[in-house]
Amino acid sequence: MNALVVRAAHKAFGQVKALDGADLAVPGGTLTAVLGPSGCGKTTLLRCVAGFERLDAGEIALGDRPVSGPRAHVPAHRRGVAVVPQDGALFPHLDVAGNVGYGLDAAARRAGRIDEVLELVGLAGYGSRLPHQLSGGQQQRVAVARALAPRPRLVLLDEPFSALDAGLRAEVRADVRAALHADGATAVLVTHDQGEALSMADQVVVMHRGRVRQQGTPLQVYRTPADPWVAAFVGDAVLLTATADGGGARTPLGALDLHQPCTGTTTVLVRPEQIRVLPPGDAAAAVPATVRRHLFHGHDAVLDLTLDDGTPVTARLLDDPREFSPGTRVALTVSGPAHALPAGAE
């Protein structure tokens, strides 16, 4: 059953349509990431679900209970929704146990719920510390423990890892994900970070200009994006004009198999990690190309290339010691299927 359903949600601030018909459904017990660029309406969606903002039109239901809509606006404190803000917003004068237990009833305290959630977020034994005695990552863990403590119907996380440095972020993300799952929580994470959404979430909701462009598993939105905009937003995209004839397509990178059948003129998506870079003339079916730029990133390298017909292509190289200077001639092949994108959307 869905723990949260948003239908045709509209919310404007003056002339700005922050939500312009947003639809989404969040199954109970899952973590859903709402992913989109700055200004696409993510925070507004989250604030409407929490009950901090009223919808202009549309509906929000938590389980089978309508909470926002033409006939209902349940106030925030009666929705059973917990919010983890960007900065954690801990009470500075209360220790960790005081923060986590704030608002928790006596029975839950006696039952050991504070220790239980601190253990879940990896902070067993930290109950008597004050917030200023904790690292940024630990403070966010406390904020998550505080949100989980009263067993809310829904936990909303608003870019909760954005203030953490990159090394710490990956660890805190993984631990928070594990804690939410272990507690059986339903959670919605708002983020503009594709890696965060794809690595943490059970399902990803991609937003653009106040609407949901696609909802699916991380693999679905990455491999089979709904349109060219989603394709380019959730990762690096090589977009090729193509003629499809069912299970395959003719493209500037040769004949490619398709994930899903398609016919006629279309645009197909290939991800840069699917492109193999060979010496010129190495394989009969390889397509000649010229290197424009080679960017080394440590864990991988990105090669910008141009095919002889002018088509730009990007290849991602893993564990590849070769160095390519601009102007080097190479030949390209593609491994794995491409994805035919529906025409029309920008």
Ligand X SMILES: Nc1ncnc2c1ncn2[C@@H]1O[C@H](COP(=O)(O)OP(=O)(O)OP(=O)(O)O)[C@@H](O)[C@H]1O
Site string for ligand X, 211-230 (x = CB under 6 A): --------------------
Would strands 154-158 and 81-84 be described as parallel, antiparallel, or unpaired?
parallel
Cβ at position 197, least distance to ligand X in Å: 13
Q: Any idea how long the chain is? A: 346
Residue 295: closest CA among 275, 325, 261, 258: 325
Cβ at position 277, least distance to ligand X in Å: 36
Site of tokens 């160095």: 323
Task: Say whether 239 sits in a helix, a strand or coil.
Answer: strand
Of residues 31 and 40, the one with the C-beta less far from ligand X: 40
Of residues 79 and 192, the one with the C-beta less far from ligand X: 192
Site string for ligand X, 174-213 (x = CB under 6 A): ------------------x---------------------
Residue 69: closest CA among 9, 15, 23, 150: 9
Site of tokens 């890696």: 195
Cβ at position 43, least distance to ligand X in Å: 3
Of residues 16 and 182, the one with the C-beta less far from ligand X: 16
Asked if 58 touches ligand X (CB under 6 A), the answer is no
Of residues 42 and 223, the one with the C-beta less far from ligand X: 42
Q: How far apart are CA 53 and CA 36, in angstroms?
A: 20
Of residues 11 and 146, the one with the C-beta less far from ligand X: 11
172: CB partners within 8 A, 6+ apart: 137, 140, 141, 161, 164
Cβ at position 33, least distance to ligand X in Å: 13
- For 172, phi and psi rounded to 5 degrees? -65, -40
Of residues 41 and 137, the one with the C-beta less far from ligand X: 41
Question: Which of these segments, 39-47, 74-82, 85-93, 314-322, binds ligand X (CB under 6 A)?
Answer: 39-47
Residue 119: closest CA among 166, 190, 175, 69: 175
Strand order of the β-sheet with 16-27 is 16-27, 2-13, 57-62, 65-68
Cβ at position 39, least distance to ligand X in Å: 4
Judged by the rule CB under 6 A, the positions of this chain that interact with ligand X are 13, 16, 18, 36, 38-44, 192
